[in-house]
Amino acid sequence: MSPQFEMPQVGSKIRVTTKFKNHVLYNPSEYTETTYVGTVGSAHKLLAPNSFVLNTPNTPHFSKREINLAYVTRLEYEDGTIANKKANTDQIWTVKGSKGDIYTVKRTDNKLICNCVGFQFRNKCKHISMVK
């Protein structure tokens, strides 16, 4: 999953809702949504990419949480402003190969990737050249 929201600024007071696949057996709901309220803290060196620290002093047992933007479904600031979702910049093309095979070229974060064997070994292929 790719992040839908921009990273909130350190010191911002936010309400954030996350959604995870539910792994509890016999639970009727497929996903679990949780809302946290707190202040965005400063990052540390072990923080995962696209994640931020949320200080939640009023929550028992966990005063700091690591929130990954890929699982955020709603982000609201203290003043009531709701964060806008990032525009999806992914683009996908299907390209017919020289032997009739169909390959998929995808642009994600301004990087082009192809699912052909040549791209897996060389990080370049003629299918990407055709898309350019």
* pLDDT at position 87: 65
* pLDDT at position 38: 94
Domain containing residue 106:
91-131
Residues 66 and 17 in one domain: yes
Give me 13's structure tokens. Answer: 């007071």
Does some domain include residue 56?
A: yes
Does some domain include residue 63?
A: yes
Q: Give the span between the Cα atoms of 14 and 44, in whole angstroms.
A: 19
* pLDDT at position 52: 94
Residues 102 and 69 in one domain: no
Residues 71 and 96 in one domain: no
Residues 53 and 18 in one domain: yes
Buried b / exposed e over 71-107, threshold 16 CB at 10 Å, is bbebbbeeeeeebeeeeeeeeeeebeeeeeeebebee
Q: Determine contact, residues 116/96, Cβ cutoff 8 Å.
A: no
* pLDDT at position 3: 64
Residues of the chain with pLDDT under 70: 1-3, 87-89, 109-110
Residue of 86, 81, 83, 71 whose CA lies nearest to 8: 83
Count how many domains the chain has: 2
Q: Give the span between the Cα atoms of 7 and 52, in whole angstroms.
A: 7
* pLDDT at position 47: 87
* pLDDT at position 129: 86
* pLDDT at position 31: 87
